[in-house]
Amino acid sequence: MKKLISLSLILILLVACTDSAQKSNSKENTYKEIVELEIDRSEYLTGEIITDGDYEIPSSGIGGFYYVPDKESREIIEERYGSNDLYYLDDESYFLYYDDMSITENLPGDLGIYKVRVKFDLKEIYGHDRFSIIDVGLTDNIGTILYEGKNYETNILDLDVRVKDRACGLIVDSVDKFGDEGGRVGFCGEIETEGYYNISYGEMHERNLGVIYYDEKNKENVPVMEGDSDVKETFFFVNKENLFKELEKHSSFGRGKFKISNYGFVYNYGMGREPSEILTEIVSLDERYKNMFEIKDKGETRLIGYNDYFAIVSDVAEYDENNYEKSFNYYYINKNNPEKEFLLTSEDYYFLDNVINDAEFSLKAEGYNEITGSYGVLNTIKCKITDQGAELSYPYATEGEKIDKFNLSAINDNYNRIATDGNYIYYIDMKTYHINRVKIDGTDNETMSEHECSKLYYHDGKLYFKEHSKPDSQIACIDTDGGNYQVIYGEKLINDFVIYDDVIYMTVFAEEQEAGYAFGFYKYNLTDGKMEAFDDSIALPQPPGLRLINDKIYYGVDYKLREYDISTNTIKEYSTNISNIQEYNNIVYTYSRTSILKHSIDNISEYDTIFEIDDGYLLRKISIIDDLIFFTYCYDYTKVDKRGIYVDVMNIDGTNRRNLFYFDYSTLGHYSFDSIYVLNNRLFIISSDNEYPLFKVLDYEGNGLWDL
């Protein structure tokens, strides 16, 4: 509770106290140093201040900066003020405020950390106790410095960040930590950035607000927290006198170069933050956007999606009788040729979805779907920009959407609990083990077959599955409408199978050994019913089972990996043991309990480590598509008695990791019951856990679309 209050107070003061942080041209870069042999600590305290040299008092009536006490002064503060007076006695820096500019007349005009003596009192400001400055001046005669600060070589900070550290030309002036994983970091200094901006009337904050969406090339100039999943491509800034009016007069949406101060971010905590950045300078504005948009009727201009080629912008088209936004206009604006191209007017709120190129893309609307009784995709519009204007395939319902984007090897590596013919998703029910089907939008869910089964494949208009017919297992198939059931092979117990070019490759029971059932490696031709061995080995089932990658099958024998080339009918053996295997863009990916690896498709033994899971966790499954790696992981059950599975996503090179979902489980951690699949732009999470069964569909940001 203490830290929640502290965060709220800091955010309020940061906005109020620096709302007018534009550099004063009249401020000379001169200051007077106080020379004293000793300082009376009963009257003055010593330490350092962090300042950018701008002391202007804005319309809120107060200015301020951060003070870092030395060891001796910190002890005095802790003795003088109790926890009932201050919520942040253990903080590294304290916010000092003033309402008279003369207080700062002897302070420096450049960004830096300066030694000072300071006299302050505890007064109430905005309903809370704060330090009010009575006198402050520079001096070398201070006490013990507890921490000198360090320089970060990159823009990526770690959890050890402290006040006085430097990154990207900024100085950390405040740090608030909320537990072990979350917190807030504030900075002193200016950031120069380039990108889109939009401004709008913000009724929540009773003032106009602005947002800068900086370009990719500016990312390295902006400090971020290592491993934080929040989007950092934006700056919020509050109404800044003439600067804000200049933007509003130019266009409520446009491009430019800017300088902002008072930058800060909240990481791994809460749902968002108050606007805190201050627009201190408009370096330049792109004149091609002049008069493109204007604020009208206190409506909002929103950038709803952008990339390196174009931006999609909306504004309010109509209000209802209660003055709420009723409908929106949508526009396409090419970055290289910025002209406003009208797309449509709709009561639905759309955002940018798939992008094919700079002239072809789709917009998607989400909300409550009365058909499915859950939140999900309501509609998708395909857009094409031509010389004659925008051509829209409008509207088409997602219930007719075809599934054309998925990684088959990833599906085969995740227990084969689903399959698709492009029109439906066929899946094995978590409780009954029957085959069901559902459309990509979650509608028309129905049972296709009541035969209990596992390992489901689609091939040439039919669904093939390993059916459990006690005491044996057999391969059976049905048509995609559920009819024409037939047993394909049922002479011996089936362990695993894959299908390629009208041939079923399978492991079939051969003999019983002391260690368990051993299997042989066979292929069954669907056209003539001919059965023959493709490997004469007899072995206990070993990972990775049977995995089909392009025209090769991978399987384990004697703790080594074998590769059967279907086209040449030859076998190659690797002196390596791999549990799981899938392919994407002609590269093979595997994972162990702790690492995700990338292998050469020509030589599986050659690999690089992409990612290593944090200590105390175990990797469970991966699924790769669109240069993204989706993966699940759980607590290391050998070390801690904690249950729960996390679903994360990161770039295919192991960067930009972010959490999407978490769910509980009841069985032991080494049981494999969770599966993840990606079809089109949807992530399917399936858990057959006996206590917490789950079938949930998310988008790539972790938003729930529908579930069963």
Q: Which of 578, 681, 581 is nearest to 628 (CA)?
A: 681
Q: Strand locations in 139-189, DSSP E?
A: 156-157, 166-167, 170-178, 182-188
Instruction: Answer whether residue 556 shows pLDDT above 90.
Output: yes
The answer for residues whose C-beta is within 8 angstroms of residue 392's C-beta and 6 or more apart is 343, 344, 381, 382, 383, 384
Phi, psi dihedrals of residue 485, rounded to the nearest 5°: -65, 135
The predicted structure's pLDDT at residue 596: 96
Quote the tokens at residue 406: 């998925």
Identify the top-confidence range among 19-23, 24-28, 126-130, 154-158: 154-158
User: 216 versus 448: which is more confidently predicted?
Assistant: 448
d(CA 516, CA 493): 13
The answer for residues whose C-beta is within 8 angstroms of residue 560's C-beta and 6 or more apart is 573, 574, 575, 576, 577
The predicted structure's pLDDT at residue 27: 44
Identify the top-confidence range among 31-45, 74-88, 417-431: 417-431
d(CA 451, CA 448): 9
- CA separation, residue 470 to residues 452, 492, 673 (Å): 10, 12, 22
The predicted structure's pLDDT at residue 28: 47
Helix or strand (DSSP H, E) at 8? helix 2-17
**For 566-580, b where at least 16 C-beta lie within 10 A, e where not — what string?**
beeeebeebeeebeb
The predicted structure's pLDDT at residue 346: 87
The predicted structure's pLDDT at residue 32: 55
Alpha-carbon torsion, ordered 345, 351, 354, 360, to 10 deg: 30
pLDDT tens profile 386-409: 998 898 875 544 556 789 899 999
Q: Mean of the pLDDT values across residues 434-455?
A: 91
User: 36 versus 44: which is more confidently predicted?
Assistant: 44
User: 652 versus 29: which is more confidently predicted?
Assistant: 652
Q: Mean of the pLDDT values across residues 48-56?
A: 91
User: 173 versus 348: which is more confidently predicted?
Assistant: 173
The answer for residues whose C-beta is within 8 angstroms of residue 323's C-beta and 6 or more apart is none
At residue 370 the predicted structure's pLDDT band, cuts being 50, 70 and 90, is: low
Cβ pair 409, 549 in contact under 8 A? yes
Instruction: Answer whether residue 495 shows pLDDT above 60.
Output: yes
Hunting for tokens 């030309």 — which residue is that?
169
Hunting for tokens 């400090």 — which residue is that?
223
Instruction: Answer whether residue 19 shows pLDDT above 50.
Output: no
Tell me, yes or no, if the pTM score tops 0.75. no
The predicted structure's pLDDT at residue 639: 85
The predicted structure's pLDDT at residue 219: 85
Q: Mean of the pLDDT values across residues 492-507?
A: 94
The predicted structure's pLDDT at residue 207: 58
At residue 180 the predicted structure's pLDDT band, cuts being 50, 70 and 90, is: low
Q: Rounded mean pLDDT of the chain? A: 84
Instruction: Specify the amino acid at residue 377.
Output: V
Please name the residue ranges forming H helices in 398-533: 408-412
Cα-based angle 600, 606, 612 (whole degrees, multiple of 5): 95
Q: How many CB atoms lie within 10 A of CB 440?
A: 23
The dihedral through the CA atoms of 658, 661, 663, 667 has a sign that is: negative
pLDDT tens profile 150-175: 999 999 999 899 999 999 999 999 99
Instruction: Answer whether residue 37 shows pLDDT above 60.
Output: no
- Range of lowest pLDDT (242-251, 302-311, 364-373): 364-373
Q: Mean of the pLDDT values across residues 37-65?
A: 83
Instruction: Answer whether residue 371 shows pLDDT above 60.
Output: no
The predicted structure's pLDDT at residue 598: 95
User: 669 versus 261: which is more confidently predicted?
Assistant: 261
Hunting for tokens 């956007």 — which residue is that?
289
3-class DSSP state of 556:
strand
Q: Which of 553, 542, 546 is nearest to 576 (CA)?
A: 542
The predicted structure's pLDDT at residue 275: 64
pLDDT tens profile 608-667: 999 999 999 999 999 999 999 999 999 888 888 888 899 999 999 999 999 999 988 886
Question: What is the bridge-based pairing of β-strands 45-51 and 112-125?
Answer: antiparallel
The predicted structure's pLDDT at residue 6: 42
DSSP letter, residue 274: -
3-state SS string over 37-86?
Answer: CCCCCCCCEEEEEEECCCCCCCCCCCEEEEEEECHHHHHHHHHHCCCCCC
User: 270 versus 91: which is more confidently predicted?
Assistant: 91
Phi, psi dihedrals of residue 104, rounded to the nearest 5°: -105, 10
At residue 668 the predicted structure's pLDDT band, cuts being 50, 70 and 90, is: low
Please, which residues bridge with residue 130 across strands? Answer: 123
d(CA 102, CA 269): 39
3-state SS string over 388-428?
Answer: CEEEEEEEECHHHCCCCCECHHHHHCCCCCEEECCCCEEEE
Please, which residues bridge with residue 694 across strands? Answer: 687
Quote the tokens at residue 509: 């029971």
> What size, in residues, is the chain?
708
Instruction: Specify the amino acid at residue 499.
Output: I
Cβ pair 163, 48 in contact under 8 A? no
Cβ pair 318, 327 in contact under 8 A? yes
The predicted structure's pLDDT at residue 525: 96
Instruction: Answer whether residue 5 shows pLDDT above 50.
Output: no
Q: Is 673 left (phi over 0), alpha (psi -120 to 50) or beta?
A: alpha
At residue 438 the predicted structure's pLDDT band, cuts being 50, 70 and 90, is: very high
Quote the tokens at residue 619: 């990797």
Q: Mean of the pLDDT values across residues 34-41?
A: 64
Q: Mean of the pLDDT values across residues 340-346?
A: 91
d(CA 473, CA 464): 13
Q: Mean of the pLDDT values across residues 182-194?
A: 90
Instruction: Answer whether residue 136 shows pLDDT above 80.
Output: yes
d(CA 435, CA 231): 39
Cβ pair 637, 648 in contact under 8 A? no
Hunting for tokens 């759980």 — which residue is that?
634
DSSP letter, residue 542: -
